[in-house]
């Protein structure tokens, strides 16, 4: 999917929402547990309740890998379902991988070919040769971690390079920009640290940013949009638990839709304020 196609979808749906399918067997309604593939059944219902409000789904691989072979099957079933019934939607494999090139080559093939996702999250800390194997795929996206949403992000990401005056996350953005382009790379910037969006935008004015941390982690959509939104929106904002576990009774799809709808409505206002719709 191209950046333009992503933007067209954003304008059409008046939304830049990504629903995170961080599906846990212990949190899904009991009546689904008797199904052959309960995680897939849950995902399918969440997708049916939110697909007109979301432009992307993000599958965090940890929640599937924990179940071994059956988890991988749930993952594959979910991706195939989205591709078949909602082919306009952007699919992110949230893997946060980082390894030497020979291994990265296999990860890239796994997420882009075997699983057929549009994007994969990657840790930048092994440097250029560890990221290039992902960038070899046409029409696929590599999403590099810049500012993560967790509390300990400052342990490394904001350390200053005395030679350049840049912080580590700025070095990540500045260097990696030359590995790919704004047509095949995005950066993760957590909604919980809105004060860093201006610095990321200074270096990467046109790249799409994947923004987790709205919802359960308490990030503000308003603040993210203030300094992160570009002329083609440039934002994909994720909420996982805040949507999919809004209610874990039989009514979970209704409550999940309500939460997704609330976010979409806020996004519509922000897109209008920016003059994009
Ligand atoms: O790459 C990510 O998606 C990610 C990066 C980051 O800095 N923080 C972060 O929370 N995430 C992921 O985004 C999702 C957030 O989930 P909720 O807090 O439930 O909305 C999880 O899948 C996290 O693994």
The Cα–Cα gap between 263 and 256 comes to 11
The Cα–Cα gap between 221 and 202 comes to 20
Yes or no: say if 152 and 158 are a contact pair by the CB < 8 Å rule. no
Q: Is the pLDDT of residue 136 over 80?
A: yes
- Determine if ligand 1 sits within 6 Å of the CB of residue 230: no
What's the domain range around 10? 3-273
- Once rounded to an integer, what is the mean pLDDT over residues 134-150? 98
The Cα–Cα gap between 51 and 256 comes to 11
Q: Is the pLDDT of residue 107 over 90?
A: yes
Yes or no: say if 240 and 21 are a contact pair by the CB < 8 Å rule. yes
Q: How confident is the model at residue 133 (pLDDT cuts 50, 70, 90)?
A: very high
Q: Which residue's alpha carbon is at the smallest distance from atom 16 of ligand 1?
A: 240
- Once rounded to an integer, what is the mean pLDDT over residues 40-51? 98
- Domain CATH code at residue 181: 3.20.20.70
Would you say the pTM of this structure is higher than 0.95? yes
Query: In the chain, how many domains are there?
Result: 1
The Cα–Cα gap between 162 and 164 comes to 6
* Cα torsion 192, 193, 199, 203: sign: negative
Model pLDDT for residues 170-216, shown as the tens digit of each residue: 999 999 999 999 999 999 999 999 999 999 999 999 999 999 999 99
Instruction: Choose the residue to mutate in 50, 96, 240, 244 for probing ligand 1, maximizing ligand atoms within 8 Å of C-beta.
Output: 240
User: From the CA atom positions of the chain, what is the Rg in Å?
Assistant: 18
Instruction: Give the residue numbers annotated as catalytic, written as ranges.
Output: 96
Give the closest residue to 213 by CA, choosing from 223, 198, 205.
Answer: 223
The Cα–Cα gap between 212 and 97 comes to 17
Yes or no: say if 56 and 276 are a contact pair by the CB < 8 Å rule. no
Say which residues have a Cβ less than 8 Å from residue 116's Cβ, sequence separation at least 6: 79, 80, 83, 91
Q: 119 C-alpha vs ligand 1 centroid, how far in Å?
A: 15
Yes or no: say if 246 and 259 are a contact pair by the CB < 8 Å rule. yes
ipTM: 0.99
């Amino acid at each position: 999917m191209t950046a333009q196609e992503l933007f067209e979808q954003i304008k059409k749906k008046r939304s830049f929402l990504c629903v995170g399918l961080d599906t846990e067997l212990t949190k899904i309604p009991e009546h689904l547990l008797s199904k052959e593939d309960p995680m897939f059944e849950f995902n399918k219902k969440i997708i049916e309740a939110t697909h007109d409000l979301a432009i992307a789904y993000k599958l965090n691989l940890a929640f599937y890998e924990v179940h071994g072979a059956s988890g991988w099957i749930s993952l594959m079933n979910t991706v195939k379902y989205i591709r078949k019934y909602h082919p306009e939607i952007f699919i992110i494999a949230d893997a946060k991988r980082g390894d030497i090139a020979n291994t990265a080559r296999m990860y890239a093939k796994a997420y882009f070919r075997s699983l057929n996702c549009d994007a994969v999250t990657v840790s930048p800390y092994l440097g250029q040769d560890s990221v290039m194997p992902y960038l070899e795929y046409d029409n696929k996206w590599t999403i590099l971690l810049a500012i993560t949403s967790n509390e300990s992000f400052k342990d490394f990401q904001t350390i200053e390079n005395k030679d350049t005056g840049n912080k580590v996350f700025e070095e990540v953005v500045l260097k990696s920009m030359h590995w790919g382009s704004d047509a095949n790379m995005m950066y993760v910037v957590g909604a919980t640290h809105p004060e860093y969006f201006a610095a990321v935008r200074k270096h990467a004015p046109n790249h799409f940013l994947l923004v987790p941390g709205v919802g359960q982690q308490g990030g503000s959509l308003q603040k993210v949009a203030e300094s992160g939104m570009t002329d083609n929106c440039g934002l994909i904002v994720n909420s996982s638990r805040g949507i999919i576990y809004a209610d874990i009774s039989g009514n979970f799809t209704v409550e999940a839709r309500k939460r997704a709808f609330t976010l979409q409505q806020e996004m519509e206002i922000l897109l209008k304020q920016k003059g994009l719709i």
